[in-house]
Amino acid sequence: MDTEARLKQSWDENAESWITSVRGGHIPSRQLGTDGAIVEIVRALSPRSVLDMGCGEGWLVRALAAQGIEGTGMDGSAALIEAARHENIGVFRHLSYEALVADPVQVGGPFDAIVCNFALLGEVLAPLLTALRVLTLPGGHLVVQTAHPLSGGDAAYAAGWREESFSAFGVAYPSPMPWFFRPFGNWVSLLTETGWTLTHAHEPLHPHTQRPLSLLLVARNPA
Amino acid sequence: MDTEARLKQSWDENAESWITSVRGGHIPSRQLGTDGAIVEIVRALSPRSVLDMGCGEGWLVRALAAQGIEGTGMDGSAALIEAARHENIGVFRHLSYEALVADPVQVGGPFDAIVCNFALLGEVLAPLLTALRVLTLPGGHLVVQTAHPLSGGDAAYAAGWREESFSAFGVAYPSPMPWFFRPFGNWVSLLTETGWTLTHAHEPLHPHTQRPLSLLLVARNPA
């Protein structure tokens, strides 16, 4: 199986563990700042409608709903979408990234903002980011939260596949998840090449170590 | 004396040592990749005319001239500009950043590209970056090479003053140089707020450690 397929399958296999981790508040970096950062940054853009691409079990759609923002969640995992729908807040679609690329408007829209919260994990992202631009009007926003380039450790500072074991998340996960590490410049080029204009980057810090917890990229659809 | 003034004075006091370091090839990171990277990135933009803002003793203007690119160098240090003119290649202006902000067009232009090669060292940069935009036409480029955010060591990952002792440069320097460290997000916001569109970021790597030697930002004047 190729690595992109293993990535997708890991979400099917880990769905139950993931729901436990997210709903139990067991992911330290999320509690320390990344959950709060994405909600605050989306809220500051004042969108009426948001697409949460790769929404998982749907916590962000619910958090945005609490701010009066209408959210649509989309995910490739049937188990995660089922869990999201069970909470009765927001609209959720079970759709793979490939299906979205093939026919973007089936997910609805146009949206004032699109959010990818730790959801751009594969190597080939240009078709998806191009499709997401179709789902916004000129002036619409894309907000991407991802692993910070400083968090790559002592490995070469170069784009490439890494593996997440979820060992810090408090419950057992059946499958390690492959994910594609990107240096800062890789993200900038990717946005430019898919027609987005990068306007801001936020780097929430760990309150004690003062090291970045994540990288949040805010881009605008220029036309 | 405030820190911005100490920064400016350090260049007057260190001019002779700096000329020795640059012309002797004594700055390891420059030999390992940052000199080559800035020349290559500017060359790839195919500019006819370039302003080298904070040109020092002028090596980059000479390197661009060797590629058929007409360069104007500008620096706030009289001693460095005198050394640059002595080589008889390129046009050099002795001008402080404050004077450039007050009356940008006195330096000439418009230029196809403006280069700031390790030359944006102070805390307050918005007036300067706004003035530089006046010196380009729509579609013109700004190329900034600066310290990579990963190079900040164990200090808090936050914008702030640091100090360069030049201890790795092979000759004695009379004055340590204060310089202002910026995380990625600080650079992105600064460009956006001064009307530039960030299109690419390059991160040349140390050939052995595979850690980034510098951050190179390429921005475009959108209008």
Burial class (CB in 10 A: 0-12, 13-18, 19+), B73: buried
* DSSP-assigned letters across all residues of B106-171: GG---EEEEEEES---SS--HHHHHHHHHTEEEEEEEEEEE--GGGGTTS-SS-EEEEE--TTSSS
**Residue A96 pLDDT > 90:** yes
State the DSSP H helix or E strand holding residue A94, giving kind and residue range, or none if neither: strand A91-94
Contact: B205, A157; criterion CB under 8 Å: yes
- pLDDT of A168 reads 87
Residues within 8 A of A (CB atoms), B 8-27 only? none
**Whether the bond into B110 is cis, omega within 30 of 0:** yes
A149 touches chain B (CB under 8 A): yes
Q: B216 vs chain A: nearest CA distance in angstroms?
A: 9
Q: Which two tokens stand for residue A134?
A: 């179709």
**Residue B155 pLDDT > 90:** no
- Which residue in A41, A146, A150, A157 has the most chain B C-beta atoms within 10 A of its own C-beta, making it the best mutation to test that interface? A157
* Closest CA in chain B for residue A188: B200
B138 touches chain A (CB under 8 A): no
How much is the average pLDDT of A17-38?
94
Instruction: Give contacts of A158 with chain B, Cβ < 8 Å.
Output: 205, 210
- The string of pLDDT tens digits covering residues A167-221 is 988 899 999 999 999 999 999 999 999 999 999 999 999 999 999 999 999 999 9
- The string of pLDDT tens digits covering residues A129-178 is 999 999 999 999 999 999 999 988 888 999 999 999 999 888 999 999 99
**Residue B170 pLDDT > 90:** no
Contact: A203, B189; criterion CB under 8 Å: no
Q: Between B223 and A84, where is the model more confident?
A: A84
In degrees and rounded to multiples of 5, residue B185 shows phi and psi of -60, -30
At a CB cut-off of 8 Å and minimum separation 6, what does A5 contact?
none
**Residue A223 pLDDT > 90:** no
* Closest CA in chain B for residue A149: B150
Contact: B157, A211; criterion CB under 8 Å: yes
- The string of pLDDT tens digits covering residues B78-99 is 999 999 999 999 999 999 999 9
Point out which residues pair with A146 in neighbouring strands: A215
B199 touches chain A (CB under 8 A): yes
Q: A218 vs chain B: nearest CA distance in angstroms?
A: 10
- pLDDT of B152 reads 83
**Residue B103 pLDDT > 90:** yes
Q: A37 vs chain B: nearest CA distance in angstroms?
A: 14
CA A164 to chain centre: 15
Ramachandran area for residue B108 (φ above 0: left; ψ -120 to 50: alpha; else beta): left
Instruction: Tally Cβ neighbours within 10 Å of residue A220.
Output: 21
Cβ pair B21, B169 in contact under 8 A: yes
First to last CA, chain B: 39
Q: A205 vs chain B: nearest CA distance in angstroms?
A: 8
* Closest CA in chain A for residue B216: A185
